[in-house]
């Protein structure tokens, strides 16, 4: 929501990554990867297509721009006791002036879908709170995600965050390569690529996806490009808490893409293997 307001306050203007970091995460040290991830999430919530944006456009090497029309929201006239609406034209000059003054105070920056996004955010928050409450006075609250085998992980489709959004095949290949390598670790349960790609583009929380796939961990990531180099970012999320327990970025020259996929998948598998194998079984 803070990102949405940050962009809405500068409609039609390019907002740099540094501006977003300063306004959305004040006094908190985060990497630009956080901006890319949150922009991608906001686009999914709004149903926006990065290639043909209706709300948020990517400005290569500069930042992001709100392309949707942004205007003030004014409350409609309230009906009087007779049940008839009184428009500004029916009021005396003094009343119109007072009404305009009152209305001016009530004007707030935003637009129709911003309210919808806020409602969605509130629903998510309420959902988490509800899951953590005591269901019955005689029974403790159940966790958001039922206990799953600790040595289980789902690899979600990697996001294509390149400027031209033309690396989706590479991102999908990266996902499949990781599934293949992780599935070869003895004792580690990994859902198939078909199961993982079912959730591509769906607006679901990590906890819900993990519950559907029956896993304790979720691995997701993104692909970005700078010049002739690719940056692949990956992170491991604990499903029952939603905490990121591991994350890393890998930079590689854009040469043989199949070799890059195999190389990065091998590096990620090595990094994850120790963390997952160290987790005790239920």
Class (C level, CATH) for 1-70+111-142: mainly alpha
Q: What is the pLDDT of residue 104?
A: 43
pTM over the 0.85 mark:
no
| 64-91 CB burial, b ≥16 within 10 A, e <16 | bbbebebeeeeeeeeeeeeeeeeeeeee
Q: What is the pLDDT of residue 107?
A: 37
Give mean pLDDT in consecutive 10-residue pieces for the chain, a chain of 282 residues.
Answer: 88 87 80 78 84 85 85 68 50 49 43 59 54 43 51 92 85 91 88 92 87 92 87 89 86 80 81 68 51
Q: What is the pLDDT of residue 212?
A: 92
Indicate where the chain has its CATH 1.10.10.10 domain(s): 1-70+111-142
Two tokens, residue 171: 């991102």
Crossing angle for the helix pair 112-132 and 32-46, to the nearest 10 degrees: 100
Q: What is the pLDDT of residue 230?
A: 86
User: Span 153-277: which CATH code?
Assistant: 3.40.50.10610
């Amino acid at each position: 929501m803070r990102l949405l307001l940050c962009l809405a306050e500068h409609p039609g203007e390019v907002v740099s990554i540094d501006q977003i970091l300063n306004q959305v995460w004040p006094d908190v040290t985060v990497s630009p990867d956080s901006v890319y991830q949150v922009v991608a999430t906001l686009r999914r919530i709004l149903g926006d297509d990065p290639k043909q944006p209706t709300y948020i456009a990517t400005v290569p090497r500069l930042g992001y721009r709100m392309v949707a029309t942004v205007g003030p929201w004014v409350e409609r006239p309230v009906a009087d006791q007779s049940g008839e609406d009184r428009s500004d034209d029916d009021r005396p000059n003094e009343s119109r002036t007072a009404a305009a003054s009152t209305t001016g105070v009530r004007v707030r920056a935003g637009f129709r879908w911003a309210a919808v996004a806020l409602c969605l955010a509130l629903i998510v928050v309420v959902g988490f709170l509800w899951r953590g409450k005591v269901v019955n006075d005689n029974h403790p609250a159940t966790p958001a995600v039922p206990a799953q085998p600790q040595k289980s992980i789902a690899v979600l489709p990697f996001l294509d965050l390149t400027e031209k959004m033309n690396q989706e095949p590479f991102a999908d290949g990266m996902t499949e390569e990781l599934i293949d390598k992780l599935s070869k670790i003895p004792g580690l349960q990994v859902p198939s690529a078909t199961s993982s790609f079912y959730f591509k583009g769906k607006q679901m929380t990590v906890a819900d996806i993990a519950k559907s796939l029956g896993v304790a961990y979720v691995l997701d990531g993104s692909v970005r490009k700078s010049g002739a180099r690719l940056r692949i970012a990956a992170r491991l999320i604990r499903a029952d808490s939603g905490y990121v327990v591991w994350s890393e970025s890998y930079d590689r020259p854009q040469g043989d893409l199949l070799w890059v996929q195999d190389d990065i998948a091998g590096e990620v598998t090595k990094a994850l293997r120790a963390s997952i194998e160290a987790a005790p079984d239920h």
